[in-house]
Amino acid sequence: MRHNKIIAGTMTWGKWGKNLSQVDMTNRIEQWVESGVSAFDHADIYGDYTTEIEFGKALKKSSIKAEELELITKCGIQMTTGRNNKVKHYDYRSTYIISSLEQSLKNLQVECIDTFLLHRPSPLMSAEEIAIAIEQLKKQGKIKSFGVSNFLPHQIQLLERYIDVEANQIQFSVDHLEHMYNGVLDDCQLNGRDAMAWSPLGAYFREDESEKMKKIRETIRELAAVYGTEEEVLVVAFILKHPAAVRPVVGTTDLNRLSILKKALSFEWSDEDWFVILESSVGRRVP
């Protein structure tokens, strides 16, 4: 399931974005699978705890069987919207992790989650407590693999005193390079973790007129013209070129946009041009 395969991010499919109808969501699932994208990324909190439910209903109405999909979801963040919480916080008690996963199974109307992630590190998390939950869920066949999201290597090391961590989903894009330098992507390579990147397009197509983004756009436009391809292709190809075999989690709900982004999977270009983009992002030559 690895090797730079694109993952469909569902964060904006529901209440937090496009607010797709059940029919539209069903169509997207079928179109995405037909186009070769069968991995779908969720989190319990998306749409104030509603998007998993809507996706599950849409999947049930579709011609796609759950077994054909790779399903990823996350737990741990406690929102003040959609829940009776007085403050946003994290909950990694074993009882909560188990109940959250079981709720996701019910929401998505499936029997197993392929990859179950802790959404963000908590100062109060107990590695031993987390391991108790994950071991039980694996033993029951309710999850296939366990990972984290937005964790640093030392936080993963803490968990690995008790449980194997098989994936890390992080922010990584042409304008967000932090994890190339803080050991996160090195850790993924060293330990064979499935590296996934949320927001892989970064701020490239947003209303960000900073000098940094202007320089990045100028560079990528010039290279896109040289290679005869779309700017999106180079933006995604930049992270795909990293040897950690990063899998981009793309949030588009437009099939044409998805087709363009998929071109990055087979895009061939020089290492030197990759460094041209890197230089435009960091604002200086490589030391």
How far apart CA 124 and CA 90 sit, in angstroms, is 8
Q: Choose, from 46, 92, 96, 162, the residue flagged as catalytic.
A: 46
Helix (H), strand (E), coil (C) string for 25-64: HHHHHHHHHHCCCCEEECCCCHHHHCHHHHHHHHHHHCCC
Catalytic residue check, 162: no
Instruction: Give one word for 183, left, alpha or beta, with left for phi > 0 and alpha for psi -120 to 50.
Output: left
The helix-helix angle for 231-240 and 211-227 (nearest 10°) equals 100
The helix-helix angle for 94-108 and 51-61 (nearest 10°) equals 40
Asked if 143 and 174 count as a contact pair (C-beta separation under 8 A), the reply is: no
**What token pair was written down for 42?**
């969720």
| Residue of 163, 26, 169, 45 lying closest to 103 (CA atoms) | 45
Residues labelled as active-site residues = 46
